Amino acid sequence: MPPKIKISPNSPFTIENIPFGVIKNPKNPNARCASAIGDYALDLVAYTRASHLKGVDGRISFEDVFNQATLNSFAALPISIRKAVREQIQHDIREGLVEEQCLIPLQDVTMLLPMHIGGYSDFYCSLEHVRNCSPMTANVVPQNWFHAPCVYNGRASSVVCSPQPIKRPKGVFYDPDTDEPTYGASRRMDYELEMGYFVSRPVPYGETMDVADAEEHIFGFVLLNDWSARDIQAFEMKPLGPFHGKGFGTSISPWVITMEALEPFRCPTKLKQDPAPFKHLHWKDEKKATFDVKLSVTMIRKEKPYKMATSNLRYLYWTPFQQLAHHASAMCGMGTGDLLGTGTISGDYELGCLFEATEASTKNVSLPDGQSFQYLEDEDEIVLEAWCGDAEAGPRLGFGQCRGKLLPA
């Protein structure tokens, strides 16, 4: 008898979600693709072997697609096929057709990095964040920032999957007491509240992409914590930008929330772009410019949770579609599995990192219980979460968590 799956009201993995990830479990230690529903992982290899996807496209061996340690093969399939797979899964769950052997309690699975990441780039696209960080840039928002999404190449090898802990890095920085260059463990460890998104359809090297086509090139979104060592970053920034201050580790959440799942949550941006963007970055449908994704960051210190900030993807000045169009505009080539970070997402009152909360390391942050501090301590854990929709009505889905604990150097 196939089970009807109960989905508790606080589960991020609703029937409207159907995210994709890569799992292993003690019973089957082979990394393979999965979805999630309620408290269960849906093993897509077992699901395929049970002939559920026979009707989708006979030319594709979905077992080969899913019996892999990354989602790259799946993400590279045409959007029509991916949509059909998602709808088949939704149908089979609704009808109670999913066999028990396809379902593994989430508490029993280990989540792995969902994609092979060929390139990782990180943007700097929240006006409030840039304003709050302006002590790093001579106290002004650089003029160029308003004319194209600002971005740097990150280090793909340092992207890890939640909840892998992050080691405090050593590096060179100016000693805050003597102002002399010194080598040692970073003393200004920070988080950054971001989202990331993965490329599906490639843009070949030497070609560009129309901004209107951007949505067809995005597979889906994850949460992204762009851990930052502010002292190392400040030392190295001039003139080539961030390197080791970021490249020691970037955490992402394990479940990729697809563009299809996010479609009902498309909305206008909070800010109007002024000056108007260049034509190659102009987005026509203002009502569908971005997504309404409610974000939060929580710090767990000595087992106590402290909500540090909330925010929303729609606060970004430059949208993910404009970011991707800009990224592709100089013909660098974008591959399936490339990861783009949105940059820290702050708001008028929402501060996406401690560098902002400390007003550029000049003030202490106060916690409700009276603790006062500036940057992260060893064993602090950072948890990012995100939700779309309301608990009351309509479709609702969550991203799960992006967790990571800071370990000593």
Q: How many residues bind a second copy (CB under 8 A)?
A: 56
Residue 167 found at the interface with a second copy (CB under 8 A):
yes
Give min distance, CB of 158 to a second copy, in A.
5
CA torsion through residues 265, 283, 80, 77, sign? negative
Contacts (CB under 8 A) with a second copy, residues 204-263: 205-206, 208, 229, 232, 235-244, 247-249
Give min distance, CB of 11 to a second copy, in A.
32
Residue 144 found at the interface with a second copy (CB under 8 A):
yes
250 is in an annotated binding site: yes
216 is in an annotated binding site: no
The Cα-based distances of 365 to 34, 310, 358, 372, 403 in angstroms read: 40, 16, 6, 5, 21
Answer yes or no: 326 catalytic: no
Give min distance, CB of 117 to a second copy, in A.
9
Specify the residue, 171 or 400, whose C-beta has the smaller distance to a second copy: 171
Taking the CA atoms of residue 295, residue 296, residue 297 and residue 299 in that order, the dihedral angle to the nearest 10 degrees is -160
Specify the residue, 7 or 141, whose C-beta has the smaller distance to a second copy: 141
Specify the residue, 60 or 332, whose C-beta has the smaller distance to a second copy: 332
Distance CA 210, CA 226 (A): 28
Residue 285 found at the interface with a second copy (CB under 8 A):
no
192 is in an annotated binding site: yes
Per annotation, catalytic residue among 52, 129, 217, 327: 129
Residue pair 389/397 in contact (Cβ under 8 Å)? The answer is yes
Specify the residue, 152 or 387, whose C-beta has the smaller distance to a second copy: 152
Could you tell me whether strands 159-161 and 250-252 are parallel, antiparallel, or unpaired per DSSP bridges? parallel
Contacts (CB under 8 A) with a second copy, residues 58-87: none
Residue 178 found at the interface with a second copy (CB under 8 A):
no
Residue 333 found at the interface with a second copy (CB under 8 A):
yes
Specify the residue, 11 or 158, whose C-beta has the smaller distance to a second copy: 158
Residue 163 found at the interface with a second copy (CB under 8 A):
no
Tell how far CA 267 is from the center of its chain. 19
122 is in an annotated binding site: yes
Contacts (CB under 8 A) with a second copy, residues 354-393: none
Q: Which of 51, 139, 143, 372 binds a second copy (CB under 8 A)?
A: 143
194 is in an annotated binding site: yes
Residue 26 found at the interface with a second copy (CB under 8 A):
no
Cis, peptide link before residue 181, omega less than 30° from 0: no
Specify the residue, 80 or 157, whose C-beta has the smaller distance to a second copy: 157
The count of residues in the chain is: 409
Q: How far apart are the first and last CA of the chain?
A: 52
β-bridge partners, 172 = 183
16-24, 95-103, 303-311, 329-337 -> range binding a second copy (CB under 8 A): 329-337
226 is in an annotated binding site: yes
Q: Which of 84, 267, 332, 360 binds a second copy (CB under 8 A)?
A: 332
85-93, 136-144, 297-305, 379-387 -> range binding a second copy (CB under 8 A): 136-144
Specify the residue, 194 or 338, whose C-beta has the smaller distance to a second copy: 338
Residues in binding site for Ca(2+)? 122, 192, 194, 226
Residues in binding site for Mg(2+)? 226, 246, 250
Catalytic residue list: 129
Residues in binding site? 122, 124, 192, 194, 226, 233, 246, 250, 344
* Residues making contact with a second copy (CB under 8 A): 118-119, 124, 136-137, 142-144, 147-148, 150-158, 160, 167, 169-172, 181, 183, 205-206, 208, 229, 232, 235-244, 247-249, 278-280, 329-335, 338
